[in-house]
């Protein structure tokens, strides 16, 4: 019974985050469907054949970048936040003679591992600062220039701490087969499947699976809720 409240809280927070992401993605799709952006979308599709760099420049030039950021960066931010709020299992009973007051802050705070990952992304790419920034104050060119640097820093930080592998090999849009014994946790079947697997379908995303996680080792006695310490420069001009 002791775990009921944290679990309900985790489910509630997860639901709110999913609804927020769905609403933001829906709004972005609505904006992208505006008639005035039809030519920009066509140019983006043509530029995509020239690689990610050409597609990025086309999206920035056509005013699509702010609306494309929501469905692209949104799932990454949601995954980080879910790591923070995910409920943990029951804490093992302390050994005889152990002083509960001496338990480290890391063990007392649910989601401490997720907080350490978020702190690492903040340190490398100032992710928290970026999420809390009001982008309405900047034009598309300024947002695009900022996102390029943040993307490079985030990629470096994630690659240093996570080894990931594709669940299904292939490019988006390729025809693939879903085997009869597929695991729903690894492959999400969408659309209108009929009958029993195996299925033939279009690959919309190959998926990712973490094969190794290398989170920063916490300093003994440190507080995992501190994502970034305040910085004060003294003695300057």
Percent of the chain scoring above 70 in pLDDT: 54
Beta-carbon contacts of 110 under 8 Å, excluding residues fewer than 6 positions away, are 6, 85, 86, 87, 88
Q: How far apart, in Å, are the Cα atoms of 81 and each of 13, 106, 111, 140, 157?
A: 9, 17, 9, 26, 16
What is the model's pLDDT at position 97? 44
The more confident residue out of 180 and 221 is 180
Question: What single DSSP character describes residue 102?
Answer: G
Cite the DSSP H helix spans in the chain: 4-32, 38-48, 52-61, 65-85, 105-108, 112-125, 127-132, 140-161
Question: 200: pLDDT confidence band, cut at 50, 70 and 90?
Answer: very high
The first and second tokens of residue 125, run together, are 């790419």
pLDDT attached to residue 228: 82
Query: Using one digit for the tens of pLDDT, what is the confidence trace for 118-169?
Result: 888 888 888 888 888 888 888 888 888 888 888 888 888 888 888 888 999 9
Q: Which one, of 176, 154, 144, 150, lies nearest residue 62 by Cα?
A: 144
Question: What pLDDT is recorded for position 2?
Answer: 45
Choose between 133 and 196: higher pLDDT: 196
Q: At what angle do helices 140-161 and 112-125 cross, to 10 degrees?
A: 130
Mean pLDDT of the chain: 74
pLDDT tens track for 158-168: 888 888 889 99
Tell whether the model's pLDDT for residue 96 goes beyond 90.
no
Pairing of strands 175-178, 162-166: unpaired
Residues 6+ apart with CB under 8 A from 207: 166, 167, 168, 186, 187
* 139 within 8 A of 51, measured Cβ to Cβ: no
| pLDDT-based confidence at residue 222 (cuts at 50, 70, 90) | confident
Angle between helices 52-61 and 65-85 (to 10 degrees): 110
Count of H helices and E strands in the chain? 8, 4
Query: What pLDDT score was predicted for residue 149?
Result: 83
| Integer Cα distance of 66 and 31 in angstroms | 10
Q: What pLDDT is stored for residue 102 in this prediction? A: 46
Question: What is the structure's pLDDT at 99?
Answer: 46
Q: What is the reported pLDDT for 53?
A: 67
Pairwise CA distance, residues 67 & 28, whole Å = 5
Whether pLDDT at 170 is above 80: yes
pTM across the whole model? 0.45
Q: Could you tell me the residue ranges of all domains in the chain?
A: 8-88+107-164, 167-217
Select the more confidently predicted residue: 85 or 192.
192
pLDDT for 100 beyond 50 = no
């Amino acid at each position: 019974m002791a775990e009921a409240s944290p679990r309900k809280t985790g489910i509630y927070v997860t639901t709110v985050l999913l609804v927020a992401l769905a609403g933001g993605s829906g709004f972005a799709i609505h904006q992208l469907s505006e008639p005035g952006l039809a030519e920009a979308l066509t140019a983006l599709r043509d530029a995509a054949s020239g690689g990610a760099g050409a597609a990025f420049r086309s999206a920035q030039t056509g005013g699509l970048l702010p609306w494309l950021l929501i469905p692209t960066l949104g799932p990454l931010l949601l995954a980080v936040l879910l790591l923070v709020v995910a409920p943990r299992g029951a804490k093992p009973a302390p050994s005889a003679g152990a002083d509960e007051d001496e338990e480290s802050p890391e063990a007392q705070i649910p989601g401490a591992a997720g907080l350490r990952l978020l702190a690492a992304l903040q340190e490398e790419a100032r992710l928290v600062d970026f999420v809390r920034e009001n982008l309405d104050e900047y034009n598309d060119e300024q947002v695009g220039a900022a996102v390029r640097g943040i993307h490079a820093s985030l990629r470096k930080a994630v690659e240093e701490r996570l080894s990931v592998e594709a669940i299904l090999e292939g490019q988006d849009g390729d025809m693939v087969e879903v085997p009869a014994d597929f695991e729903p946790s690894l492959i999400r079947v969408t659309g209108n499947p009929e009958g029993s697997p195996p299925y033939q379908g279009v690959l919309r995303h190959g998926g990712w699976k973490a094969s190794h996680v290398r989170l920063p080792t916490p300093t003994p006695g440190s507080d995992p809720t501190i994502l970034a310490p305040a910085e004060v420069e003294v003695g300057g001009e």
